[in-house]
Amino acid sequence: MEDKKILFSAVQPSGILTIGNYLGAIKNWKNLQNDYNSIFSGADLHTLTVKQDPQTLRANSYQLAALFLACGLDPEKSIIFMQSHVPAHAELAWVLNTITYPGELSRMTQFKDKSQKHQENINMGLMDYPVLMAADILLYNTELVPIGADQKQHLELARDLAIRFNGRFGELFKVPEPYFGKTATRVMSLQEPTKKMSKSDANLNSFISMDDDKDTIIRKFKRAVTDSDNKIIFSEDKPGISNLLTIYSAFRGISIKEAEAEFEGKGYGDFKVKVGETVADVIDPIRQEKNRILSDKTYIDAVLKDGAERASRIAYKVLSKVYKKVGLLPRSR
Ligand code: TRP
């Protein structure tokens, strides 16, 4: 690989992604892959921490891989692979477990939230989630990790574990930095614009999935909850309109100010349709391309196989250094 900084990120194959996931992650990855040695993973082992139907998980993993490719991640430029295909992730997680304290994990916000939400299935994996994530990152001498704000605490743990390991066993891991991107796009629910847009929302009108077709997208935007003063401006007391302006400007690649200027004097009805059309113009071709790619599983398998091989080469070099540092015997070849 060329002498560029190493960047690692991952998304769980836990179901259809929303435009929030797209704007928050994959859309930016496409550009980042030109500037960094980029490694992108489907975090399938993480997905197991909440109950999965095996067949659905398999389908979702193909969906995610196809979406990566449809969004412009390029297997020639980046390493694209499934986490479970590189066993070094689970192996490093084990070693990192031995330097992690239960208190560090039990106080994680996401663990507490998910324990609330899945009270029938509070398992060790759910608690250990951030350690596996630290392993994902540290295995590649990663310098930059594009993440959403909700993953900040997890990245902090990865940094702590890198520093702790280095302190105890000698310099080895790079201490990774978060990468939040230029504009932090926080996409809210279309029905309750004070809540984050979520694909697990029971109200299907509250989110735009990457699988929605043009008509569905426009219909959902038409139904988006707003207010009644008919002014298209970004303001804290106008969460619905502000959210639509955020979405519109992110999809158009313009500032909120520019978006406001564009709609000055226009009514909510026209505005909503315009936002819907703009989103659909981007999402619809991606969906079609994703479905085209999905029809060729052999191709996806080949991409993932090549990605896993390239990832493994880096990961095992690092893992064998870890094993050596902690005092495990070298394996005879
Ligand atoms: N936990 C991340 C999320 O849900 C996904 C993830 C897994 C990840 N491993 C990672 C992100 C490593 C960045 C780096 O969004």
Can you say how many angstroms the Cα of residue 275 is from the centroid of all Cα atoms in its chain? 24
Q: What angle do CA 179, 182, 186 make, to 5 degrees?
A: 90
Cβ(315)–Cβ(89) under 8 Å?
yes
Q: State mean pLDDT over 102-109.
A: 97
Distance 46 CA to ligand 1 centre (A): 8
Residue type at position 15: G
| Nearest CA owner, ligand 1 atom 15 | 11
Burial 82-96, CB ≥16 within 10 A → b, else e: bbbbbebbebbbebb
pLDDT band at 182 (very low <50, low <70, confident <90, very high): low
For residues 250 and 184, give the distance between their C-alpha atoms in angstroms, rounded to a whole number. 10
* Mean pLDDT, the chain, integer: 95
Tokens linked to 19: 């435009």
For 95, phi then psi, to 5°, come to -65, -45
pLDDT score recorded for residue 102: 97
Distance 9 CA to ligand 1 centre (A): 6
Per-residue pLDDT of 277-332, as tens digits, reads 999 999 999 999 999 999 999 999 999 999 999 999 999 999 999 999 999 999 88
Cβ(189)–Cβ(207) under 8 Å?
yes
Helix pair 268-294, 54-70: axis angle to 10 deg: 110
pLDDT score recorded for residue 24: 85
> Judging by beta carbons within 10 Å of its beta carbon (0-12, 13-18, 19+), is residue 78 exposed, middle or buried?
buried
pLDDT score recorded for residue 2: 61
Q: Report, as residue numbers or ranges, the catalytic residues.
A: 114, 196, 199
Distance 11 CA to ligand 1 centre (A): 6
pLDDT score recorded for residue 332: 82
For residues 308 and 330, give the distance between their C-alpha atoms in angstroms, rounded to a whole number. 23
Of the chain, the percentage scoring pLDDT greater than 90 comes to 89
| Nearest CA owner, ligand 1 atom 8 | 10
* CA distances (Å), origin 85, targets 16, 42, 82, 105: 22, 10, 6, 26
Beta bridge partners of 6: 37
Q: Name residues whose C-beta falls within 8 Å of residue 265's C-beta, 6 or more positions apart in sequence.
A: none
Would the pLDDT of 25 be above 60?
Answer: yes
Would the pLDDT of 1 be above 60?
Answer: no
Would the pLDDT of 225 be above 60?
Answer: yes
Q: State mean pLDDT over 49-78.
A: 97
Tell which atom from ligand 1 comes closest to the C-alpha of 146: 13
For residues 185 and 253, give the distance between their C-alpha atoms in angstroms, rounded to a whole number. 12
Tokens linked to 79: 């390493």
| Nearest CA owner, ligand 1 atom 3 | 11
Per-residue pLDDT of 63-75, as tens digits, reads 999 999 999 999 9
Tell which atom from ligand 1 comes closest to the C-alpha of 133: 9
| Nearest CA owner, ligand 1 atom 6 | 10
Q: State mean pLDDT over 210-230.
A: 95
User: What is the reported pTM?
Assistant: 0.93
Closest by CA position to 80, among listed 300, 315, 314, 318: 300
Per-residue pLDDT of 237-282, as tens digits, reads 999 999 999 999 999 999 999 999 999 999 999 999 999 999 999 9
Closest by CA position to 2, among listed 43, 36, 46: 36
Would the pLDDT of 56 be above 70?
Answer: yes
pLDDT score recorded for residue 305: 98
pLDDT score recorded for residue 111: 96
Candidates 8, 11, 110: which one to mutate for ligand 1, based on the most atoms within 8 Å of Cβ? 11
How many CA atoms, within 13 angstroms, populate the side-chain half-sphere of residue 43? Answer: 19
Per-residue pLDDT of 184-217, as tens digits, reads 578 999 999 999 998 888 999 999 999 999 999 9
| Nearest CA owner, ligand 1 atom 11 | 10
Q: Find the residues whose C-beta lies inside 6 A of ligand 1.
A: 8-12, 43, 46, 133, 136-137, 145, 147, 151
pLDDT band at 183 (very low <50, low <70, confident <90, very high): low
